[in-house]
Structure 1
Amino acid sequence: MNEYVLQTNQLSKKYKNTMALDKVNMTIKRGEIYGFIGQNGAGKSTLIRLICGLAKPTNGKIELFGESNEQELIQARKRIGTIIEGPALYPNMTASENLEAHRLLKGIPGKDCIEKTLTLVGLVDTGKKKAKNFSLGMKQRLGIAIALLGDPEFLILDEPINGLDPMGVVEIRELLKKLNQEYDITILISSHILSELHLLATHYGIIHNGKLIEQMSLKELNDKCQQYLHIKVNDPNKAATVLENHLQTKNFEVMPNGSIKLFEFVDVPGEVSQTLTNQGLVIEEFMPSGEDLETYFSKRIGGVHNG
């Protein structure tokens, strides 16, 4: 079994004089939740449309489940479920009727999948309530239910939490984790709500101006978004000497405003504060800190933009 669900090789898409995608090499392994990050117009939706066969690449290659020629890709795409630019719902139909309509469109035999799928997304008790009267979160879950018809191995979701209230965001997050962990579904999710992606994704890709500028695992991201102790004392120069001589560390940085970032002892902050106090220093500020995904993304985009 191929460990890669998706691989692209030098994938490019040009619209007239605009290069929407520029030589993108993306890899998604089986079992990952891949958070796809980029500003509006960066190329996220274009790439998703190419993967799903809704547009043709100008150059480059797409490989799904190890298959890459045109006929093989048509078959491979039957193993994908998608929500692109919002779920396609029939507003005057119930949840069950929506699934039945899409089941017939997809040519899926048997009605057993409808109740099973509605149960999975928490909509089995909506009865005769029409989709137009659903909350935004319920509509999004119904869209995911439609995408799940046919038991896909790979789920592609374009901005599935956009516009949801906090409770709706939590519901979708927990549902996607369940699909990934209990049903072994690989997920590609694009979102601009980076704080939420950081709670969900196992891997990340950052796209900017059509170029995939970085791919990394959650562990690699956490290593890059390094945690530290933020320290402010009455005498930063003396504090630096104390850190070097008493705690035997040079892994810190004295900032222009006199505060100190200490990249060690994050798990034992009491040892640091006690040592500083014992050496006669007055602690004015002392707290664990670190970058989040949003800060890291802004730095990467800023670096690329300014470079």
Structure 2
Amino acid sequence: MNDHVLQSNQLTKKFKGAFALDKVNLSIRKGSIYGFIGQNGAGKSTLIRIAAGLAFPTDGHIELFGAGGELELVQARKRIGSIIENPALFPNMTAAENLEANRILRGIPGKECIGRTLALVGLQDTGRKKAKNFSLGMKQRLGLGIALLSDPEFLILDEPTNGLDPMGVVEMRELLVRLNRERGITILISSHILSEVYLLATHYGIIHHGRLLEQLTAQELKGKCQQYIHIKSDNPDKASAVIQNGLKTSDFEVMPDGSIKLYGKIERPGEISALLVSSGLMLEQFMPMGEDLESYFTKRIGGISHV
């Protein structure tokens, strides 16, 4: 039995001689929430479009639910729901009418899925309100409802929280977690809001300039995100000297604002603070901290980036 919903083998896509994807080997396990992260133009949307059947590779291939043949992939894609870029809505139709139109277009039998899906995405009370008058958050939820109409096993979401206000982001996140936990839906989510991916994902893929740099679990990411002590004092130069000579470590860095990130010898923070104070330093800030997904991503691709 294949326990992966999506696998790619040496997946390559060229546009005018430039690589959008360069021999990408990606795998997404059933039941996971896969956070697919990278800069704009890194190749995220290209891979998603190939998975959804909206684009074709230059070389390599993909498998969906273990199926890799052309006709098999067509059948496998019936088990997928997706939001790619902006949801395609009929602006002069209500939420229920939008779902009904999509149900007919996709040949989904029975109308009972309409009310069930509206309730699932929280749009059951929108009545005769037309989609053109929906808030952005409501439009995103309606798009998600369209993707969920056929009870998919695999949900592909390209920037699902793009443009949402903070409350809309929270609502979308809670809904996705519920779909994954209660329905067992595997989710591939591409987003530039790395803090949101960090709260959702069980697995990660980092892509940069078309190359998949790394795949790792949330637990592996936690182990790789370095822990440190954030120190801000009245004399950064003296604090640096005390740390280097008193703690016998050079595993720290001085930030542009004069604060210090101490990575080494952090097991006993009380002793470190006592050493600094006894050396005549005034501590303005002293707190254990840990890097997050944004810090790790920036370090992994080799510098500050716009994602």
TM-score (norm 2): 0.88
Paired residues of 1:228 and 1:264 also in contact (CA < 8 A): no
Shift of 1:55: 1.4
Segments of structure 1 that go 5 or more residues without pairing to the other structure are: 245-249
CA displacement, residues 119-138 of structure 1 (integer Å, 9 cap, x when unaligned):
11111111111111110001
Query: What's the offset of the Cα at 1:243?
Result: 4.2
Aligned to 2:283: 283
**In 1, Cα distance between the equivalents of 2:201 and 2:66?**
23
Compute the displacement of 1:173 (Å): 0.7
TM-score by length of 1: 0.88
Task: Indicate the residue corresponding to 2:122 in structure 1.
Answer: 122
Provide the secondary structure at the position in 2 that maps to 1:2: coil
1:259 match: 260
Secondary structure of the 1:171 match is: helix
2:89 maps to 89
Distance 2:86 2:261 in 1: 46
1:1-307 to 2 correspondences below 5 Å: 1-232=1-232, 235-236=238-239, 237-240=241-244, 242-243=246-247, 252-253=251-252, 255=254, 259=260, 261-263=262-264, 265=266, 269-270=269-270, 272-274=272-274, 277=277, 282-302=282-302
Change (3 A) 1:170 1:260: closer
State the distance in 2 between where 1:304 and 1:209 align: 15
Distance in 1 between the 2:246 and 2:185 partners?
Answer: 52
State the Cα distance separating 1:274 from its structure 2 match. Answer: 4.7
Paired letter, 1:226: Q
CA pair 253-137 structure 1, distance change in 2 beyond 3 A: same
Structure 2: how far apart are the matches of 1:4 and 1:204?
15
For 2:70, give the aligned amino acid: E
AA aligned opposite 2:190: S
Name the CA distance, whole Å, in 2 between partners of 1:135 and 1:280. 57
Cα distance per residue 1:189-219 (max 9 Å; x no partner): 1111112111111111111211111211122
1:262–1:53 distance in 2 versus 1, CA, 3 Å:
closer
What is the one-letter code of the residue matched to 1:294?
E
1:71 is displaced (CA, Å) by 1.2
- The one-character-per-residue Cα deviations of 1:94-146 (angstroms, maximum 9, x if unpaired) are 11111111111111111111111111111111111111111000100010010
Unaligned runs of 5+ in 2: none
Asked whether the equivalents of residues 228 and 261 of structure 2 are also in contact (C-alpha less than 8 Å), the reply is no
TM-superposed CA distance for 1:149, in Å, is 1.1
Task: Indicate how the Cα distance of structure 1 residues 263 and 181 shifts in structure 2: closer, same or farther if over 3 A, else same.
Answer: farther
Identity %: 66
Structure 1 residue 300: deviation in Å? 2.4
Shift in CA distance, 254/10, structure 1 to aligned 2, threshold 3 Å = closer
Instruction: State the Cα deviation string for residues 3-59 of structure 1 (Å, max 9, x = none).
Output: 111110000112232222111100100111111112222111111111111111111
Summarize the Cα distance change of 1:263–1:143 in structure 2 as closer, same or farther, 3 Å threshold: farther
Q: Structure 1, residues 220-245: CA drift from partner, whole Å, max 9, x if none?
A: 2222221211235565344455546x
1:247 alignment partner in structure 2: none
> How many equivalent residue pairs?
299
3-state SS of 2:68 partner: coil
